[in-house]
Chains A and B, each alone.
Chain A
């Protein structure tokens, strides 16, 4: 694997504005009733007057050890050299095994194609043109950093090397490629 695309979500900088959600929808033609990314505003945590919210990005974690890929009976769910968990629509029969197996619950059936859908870091469109994913580009507070973690000079590498970060549900052994910088106001709670 030459590339290892990862995404870092800085929960200190995020303001829960949903610009990423909207940009993703328009870039990827996501039907109205479903979403590829949500930033859930959880909380409030703490005791008055020291209250704070947690901004929880919910999107495909691009697991290195992806449960959805393992359970797919036809190989329609697969991982390429870029490490992005992808879907081959032609091979898919719609058994929903991958949707059920995903521990992050980020796979959904696209009502138009009848095939599972999810974030793919805009790999067919923006990434193919050498641009960053739509959510990263529109983020007004630069809470998202995207790049190749195998490239030692990349910004994403620098962020991961210098800032405290965590991944969700590491105990399941899925090795997600979405990293999170925990809010200074609260503890780590995945």
Chain B
């Protein structure tokens, strides 16, 4: 529009775009897959079962480092001054959620590499025998390392939610439910990612310990759905601007993304698949791949929906 007061282009409320949505997805995927793998490891250990060479843990050792590094690469490229990103590593403003995220990621990223190196110890030593000493030390503190990675994984999953909820003027984003929603969906995409990679690359039998991972899917999907209900019901009681923002799920493109992507692919398909699908299918490769891809797309849709619809409504 040609206003007397000038261009309105710079006033577009959508500041963070799909790059941030994909980063938030990648961070959730990495954190979720580590949480699921370490949780599974503890579950098996507590029952005295072997944990060596489990396909799901191998899958997490691949997804954990790869997803977070791709995500970080996107994040740095999205800065307006990508070559000066190191300033964020030198200066910390501790009232900023982003600064806390940087601190968490600074510890988390090297540790997931250590986790991966311990899982693939043989292969690593084949190519880099000089790491033998370091890996031996890491192996000795493995249990503590896993606890630390688990805590940091929770931190990374939750921080991505707080990152958005700190923006006080967007009613959809500025809620305490968002971090919980992001953590729940990180767990669901983490388990789906683990199942997908495990089935594709590491599984020898058709049902290699995928059952235990499946078992967490119900409560996680339930929590995710609950958070979504809380988010939109809560908006209804938070004043006119917030109430207007509930239009995000009734009108426009993002409403379709929400119902088809987030609810359909992310929640309905996986839950129906594990309740009404015939038993004979459940552990076939095709079935596992289809269902986990559906969950992954659902969570990717959720991150896009939150980033775009969240910023489209301003109070």
Is B a genuine binding partner of A? yes
A72 at interface by CB-CB < 8 Å: yes
B7 at interface by CB-CB < 8 Å: yes
- A109 neighbours in B (Cβ, 8 Å): 10, 80
- Please tell me the number of chain A residues within 8 Å of chain B, measured between CB atoms: 43
B272 at interface by CB-CB < 8 Å: no
- A169 and B314 alpha carbons, distance in the complex (Å): 11
A67 & B98 in contact (Cβ 8 Å cutoff): no
Tell me the B4-28 residues at the A interface (CB within 8 Å): 4-7, 9-11, 13, 15-16
B15 & A93 in contact (Cβ 8 Å cutoff): no
B15 & A100 in contact (Cβ 8 Å cutoff): yes
A75 at interface by CB-CB < 8 Å: yes
B166 at interface by CB-CB < 8 Å: yes
Query: Contact check: which of A70, A93, A97, A114 meets B87 at CB < 8 Å?
Result: A93
B5 & A93 in contact (Cβ 8 Å cutoff): no
B96 & A70 in contact (Cβ 8 Å cutoff): yes
Query: Contact check: which of A21, A173, A174 meets B6 at CB < 8 Å?
Result: A21
- A34 neighbours in B (Cβ, 8 Å): 7, 10
A156 at interface by CB-CB < 8 Å: no
- A90 neighbours in B (Cβ, 8 Å): 87
- B314 neighbours in A (Cβ, 8 Å): 103, 105
- B91 neighbours in A (Cβ, 8 Å): 73-76, 91
B46 at interface by CB-CB < 8 Å: no
- A92 and B311 alpha carbons, distance in the complex (Å): 23
- A83 neighbours in B (Cβ, 8 Å): none
Q: A71-B95, A92-B81, A93-B84 are in contact. List 12 more A-B contacts (CB 8 A).
A: A18-B6, A33-B9, A34-B7, A73-B101, A75-B91, A76-B91, A94-B82, A96-B15, A103-B169, A115-B81, A169-B315, A171-B239
For this complex, 22 residue pairs linking A to B, each with C-beta atoms less than 8 Å apart, are: A16-B5, A18-B4, A18-B6, A33-B9, A34-B7, A34-B10, A67-B169, A69-B95, A73-B88, A73-B98, A73-B101, A74-B87, A74-B88, A75-B91, A92-B84, A93-B84, A93-B87, A94-B81, A95-B79, A115-B81, A169-B169, A169-B315
Chain B residues proximal to chain A, CB less than 8 Å: 3-7, 9-11, 13, 15-16, 79-82, 84-85, 87-88, 90-93, 95-99, 101-102, 166-169, 239, 311, 314-315
